[in-house]
Amino acid sequence: MDLTDLKTFEAVARLGSMNKAAAELNTVQSNITARIRALEEDLGLALFERHARGVATTPAGQRMMPFVGRIAKLVDDARAAARDEGEPAGTLMLGSLETVMATRLSTLLTDFARRWPQVQLVVSSGNTAKLVSEVVECKLDGAFVAGPVTHPELESVRVFTEELVLVASPAVSSLKDLARIADLKTVVFQSGCSYRQRLEAFLHGRGLVVARPLEFGSLDAILSCVAAGVGVTLLPQGVVAQAAAAGKVSVHRMPAGLARVQTLFVRRRDGHVSSALGAFLAMAQGTRNGKARAA
């Protein structure tokens, strides 16, 4: 078993096809088939089940998948560490909550790109559950997520503190009005969003019956629906300040236990902290001379 075998296995498993894997890896299908057969013989296990539309991973293949990304990342980290002379450079793969991107990251990313032009920043968005999973699987070097996060393979650094507020249409003057709304709905990001979990806990605690959540993939869509009176949501105060000032939505303070949330930067404990990642974290935390400013 070598790294090329593992990369071949990962491509076939992800694409569900030997032919598609061959095209992606710029080789012929016979090479892919031969490598997978040799890998299965080495392990003494079938990694794929063949069917008319392609292949599907067996339980053994599914158990093996998480290690492929980690091994490939370790090899990449070794190469990066050997070449890292202390000057930030190379590619930095980051993830972030969309709310953090909207309020916190635009200036930070601009300043970082200006300060370290040799670093190629690649930033993707997602909910906390998705981002944590991608960091664990070595798809991201790190990510900004909502705390708390407890995972044995991750370490976290507190970066920002947010105050969450309940956001509703202008017709809602107080939290007491929620009980008078027939067919109360929540307008939220997809499952895995920690803000959504807090909102559901709050409404349940007040004995409110909520219809099936309306899920959207963008912040703008959520705010538009809330402004139109479709439902309510929970977001950081900074995200909705402009819409509230314009009278498009109403904003209501939450109980202290649910209102304050820490934005954490998470990364793998065993991951290489490159000069680029170290410089980014220092800038994100507002460090000066190695001393972090309190968030």
What percentage of residues in the chain have a pLDDT greater than 70?
97
Check residue 82 and give its pLDDT.
78
pLDDT category at 292 given cuts 50, 70, 90 is very low
Q: Examine the pLDDT at 290 and tell me if it is beyond 50.
A: no
Select the more confidently predicted residue: 270 or 60.
60
> Which tens digit of pLDDT belongs to each residue from 62-118?
999 888 877 877 787 787 777 778 889 989 999 999 999 988 898 899 999 999 999
User: Which of 102, 96, 194 minimizes the C-alpha distance to 147?
Assistant: 194
Q: What domains, with CATH codes, occur in the chain?
A: 3-81 (1.10.10.10), 86-161+261-284 (3.40.190.10), 162-260 (3.40.190.10)
Q: Examine the pLDDT at 295 and tell me if it is beyond 50.
A: no
User: Which of 279, 265, 263 minimizes the C-alpha distance to 121?
Assistant: 279
Task: Give the tokens for residue 46.
Answer: 């079938």
Amino acid 179 reads A
Q: Examine the pLDDT at 4 and tell me if it is beyond 50.
A: yes
> Which tens digit of pLDDT belongs to each residue from 177-219?
999 888 899 999 887 788 998 999 999 999 998 888 999 988 9
Q: Examine the pLDDT at 288 and tell me if it is beyond 60.
A: no
Q: How far apart are CA 132 and CA 145, in angstroms?
A: 8
Amino acid 147 reads G
Cα R_g (the chain), whole angstroms = 23
Where residue 183 falls (left for φ over 0; alpha for ψ -120 to 50; beta otherwise) is: left
Check residue 233 and give its pLDDT.
96
Check residue 263 and give its pLDDT.
93
Check residue 243 and give its pLDDT.
94
> Which tens digit of pLDDT belongs to each residue from 116-161?
999 999 999 999 999 999 999 888 999 999 999 999 999 999 998 8
Q: Are 54 and 16 in contact (CB under 8 A)?
A: yes
Task: Give the tokens for residue 50.
Answer: 């063949």
